[in-house]
A and B are shown apart, each in its own frame.
Chain A
Amino acid sequence: MEEPPWRVTGNCMTSDKRSSGARTPPGTDGIWTFVFIDMIVFSLFFAVYLSERLRLPGVFAASQSHLDPKFGLVNALILLTSSLFVAEAVAAARLGKATLVRARLALALACGAMFSASKLTEYVGKFAAGITPVTNSFYSLYFLLTMIHFLHVLAGMVFIAHCLGRARVEAGLTVFVAKLENTGLFWHFVDLLWLFLFPLLYLAGPK
């Protein structure tokens, strides 16, 4: 019986469909399911945020005006750039170019570290100003949403670091390409989330 094209095997790249130019689905079915469940969870968080905003518009407007949108902008630019590096790493892995894969993954990891430093700087500034998750409803949701997103960034960095470590020995294997595609899909989802968190938290407030 013929295996479905998205099934992962340990075969070498040169003997499978990927290297012959066939358009196989990226990643495994499991990662698409996992990310979609995460999407549903964040939809619920967004719904809670909006319902609280409708209940307490004054509190949300006043609190949002204390966030610095430049932090959100810099973080968006960092994550978009990291997504480019991860997508390029996947493209390089499909070509079996281990050195390029490692270089792009190292750059993506550096972007993740920059995002982490930026986020921690922002949190430290908030705590120094006496703003904590219990300050009010807006800040409870601000810290909840951004901290859960930050945990996703840290998890993504662990996956990228793992792929970086395995790239030298596994770069030519289909199983490695699938692993990197899964990591890439997760990382792009983290980027996608910030595309909505950035305008919601930093740009939608009063001017």
Chain B
Amino acid sequence: MKPIDRSLSLAWMGLIALTLISFAAAETLIDRRLALACIFAIAALKGQLVAASFMEVGRALPHWSALYRVWIIGIAIMLAAGNVV
């Protein structure tokens, strides 16, 4: 199957790799705090990648672009903090 847009395929490969890394980190890291920091940092990174590559937030009106990017970071921080304590 021929890719329609190479940048979309590259983003997808990055997302798959990050998903597998976060799964491996959760399964193997002994330090729970480190594991939690890793998996939610990766979730934030994946969120930014989905927003930028698939949702094209960079092309959206500036307020939507800012709100979506901030939401992704904010939720990742909230979930990490809420699970660490």
Question: Given A39-B71, A43-B71, does the pair A91, B59 have CB atoms closer than 8 Å?
Answer: no
Instruction: Find the A residue at minimum CB distance from B79.
Output: A200
* Residue numbers in A under 8 Å from B42 (CB-CB): 199
* Residue numbers in A under 8 Å from B36 (CB-CB): 204
Q: Which of A23, A50, A184, A195 has the most CB of B within 10 A?
A: A195
Please report the C-alpha to C-alpha distance between residue A73 and residue B20 in the assembled complex, in whole angstroms: 8
With an 8 A cutoff between CB atoms, is A206 at the interface? yes
Please report the C-alpha to C-alpha distance between residue A200 and residue B76 in the assembled complex, in whole angstroms: 10
Closest 8 CB pairs of A and B: A50-B82, A203-B26, A84-B12, A199-B39, A88-B4, A32-B64, A188-B54, A87-B54
B39 → chain A, closest Cβ, in Å? 4
Partner of A69, one of B26, B72, B74: B26
With an 8 A cutoff between CB atoms, is A131 at the interface? no
B25 → chain A, closest Cβ, in Å? 8
* Residue numbers in A under 8 Å from B11 (CB-CB): 84
Question: Given A195-B47, A196-B47, does the pair A87, B8 have CB atoms closer than 8 Å?
Answer: yes
* Residue numbers in B under 8 Å from A104 (CB-CB): 4
* Residue numbers in B under 8 Å from A189 (CB-CB): 55
Chain A contact-residue range equals: 35 or more
Please report the C-alpha to C-alpha distance between residue A29 and residue B64 in the assembled complex, in whole angstroms: 9
Instruction: Find the A residue at minimum CB distance from B30.
Output: A207
* Residue numbers in A under 8 Å from B40 (CB-CB): 199
Instruction: Find the A residue at minimum CB distance from B83.
Output: A204
Instruction: Find the A residue at minimum CB distance from B23.
Output: A73
Asked if B23 and A54 make an inter-chain contact with CB atoms under 8 angstroms apart, the answer reads: no
Known: A83-B12, A83-B50, A188-B50. 7 other contacts (CB 8 A): A50-B83, A81-B16, A196-B75, A196-B79, A199-B42, A200-B79, A204-B36
With an 8 A cutoff between CB atoms, is A105 at the interface? no
* Residue numbers in B under 8 Å from A199 (CB-CB): 22, 26, 39-40, 42-43, 79
Partner of B54, one of A191, A198, A207: A191
From 1 to 43 in chain B, residues with beta carbon under 8 angstroms from any chain A beta carbon are 3-5, 8-9, 11-12, 15-16, 19-20, 22-23, 26-27, 32, 35-36, 39-40, 42-43
Q: Jot down 18 A-B pairs with beta carbons below 8 A, ordered by A.
A: A25-B59, A36-B67, A43-B75, A50-B79, A54-B85, A73-B23, A77-B16, A83-B54, A84-B8, A84-B11, A84-B54, A188-B50, A191-B54, A192-B50, A195-B47, A200-B79, A200-B83, A204-B36
From 52 to 85 in chain B, residues with beta carbon under 8 angstroms from any chain A beta carbon are 53-56, 59-61, 64, 67-68, 71-72, 74-76, 78-79, 82-83, 85
Interface mask (A20-33 → B, CB under 8 Å = 1, otherwise 0)? 00011111010010
